[in-house]
Structure 1
Amino acid sequence: MTGSPAGDVALTDQAAKRIVALLSSEAPGSVFRVAVEGGGCSGFQYKFAIDAAATPDDALVERAGARVAIDPASLGFLAGASIDFVDDLMGQSFRVENPNAVSSCGCGTSFSL
């Protein structure tokens, strides 16, 4: 079995639906990847991508057919976080509600600890 469960990272219904829609046109076994990288206007930034498969070290969040892979280094930054998908006047985007973030920028894609 690839990966381990990321029990402390939650995925909302809206995020799960959007991920399922995105992965429907990808090869079987593809996953939606969420990572934390250095950079952005607040020190760290979230990166969202589609990968052909999860790696053995990835933690997996699964909900309603959606599969999200998180690498071990990023998982520590995302402990207790919730991943959502919003469609509002500002546009469509994935957003992370992260209890570990001390502050975040206005765009919602970068944060500091």
Structure 2
Amino acid sequence: MTQITLSGAAARHINHLSSEAGHPIMLRVAVDAGGCSGFQYNLDLVDAAEDGDAVIEYQGAKALVDEISAPLLSGSIIDYVEELVGAQFKILNPNAKSSCGCGVSFSI
């Protein structure tokens, strides 16, 4: 399994979302072809893992990464940031050579 980690801030937010929902919520992180730089992150909140998903767990929170996306995310940190313009999950991917201004699209 490629090394992907969940930050404390991301874990706290996933746990908060689970608490609000009244059941466990997991963050699914995938990489799809497309976007202005070649690849784009696809983030979704889900209730269950799918076959072949890698489970990243930290402080009781879980993120899921499919087996196709895992190599493209190797060494990444899944973070949650709160900024003046809003709050969002953010992928800190050391494999990304460039990214677009929106921060969702990247190239390798």
* 1:61 lines up with 2:56 in the alignment: yes
Moved over 3 A (4+): 25-30
Residue number among 73, 76, 82 corresponding to 2:77 in the alignment: 82
Deviation at 1:35, TM superposition (A): 0.5
Paired position in structure 1 for 2:65: 70
Deviation at 1:29, TM superposition (A): 5.1
TM-score (norm 2): 0.90
Listed as ranges, the gaps of 5+ residues in structure 2 are none
Letter in 2 for 1:14: A
* 1:109 lines up with 2:104 in the alignment: yes
| Alpha-carbon distance in structure 2 between the residues aligned to 1:52 and 1:109 | 23
Sequence identity (%): 44
Listed as ranges, the gaps of 5+ residues in structure 1 are 1-5
SS of aligned partner of 2:68? helix
Paired position in structure 1 for 2:6: 11
| Alpha-carbon distance in structure 2 between the residues aligned to 1:7 and 1:25 | 31
| Alpha-carbon distance in structure 2 between the residues aligned to 1:37 and 1:55 | 17
Paired position in structure 2 for 1:32: 27
Aligned length: 108
- 2:14 and 2:25 in contact (8 A); partners too: no
Paired position in structure 2 for 1:3: none
The root-mean-square deviation of aligned C-alpha atoms, in Å, is: 1.6
CA displacement 1:47-79 (0-9 Å, x = unmatched): 111222112310010001111111000101100
CA displacement 1:11-64 (0-9 Å, x = unmatched): 111011111112234474542101111111111111111222112310010001
- 2:17 and 2:25 in contact (8 A); partners too: no
Deviation at 1:108, TM superposition (A): 1.1
SS of aligned partner of 1:22? helix
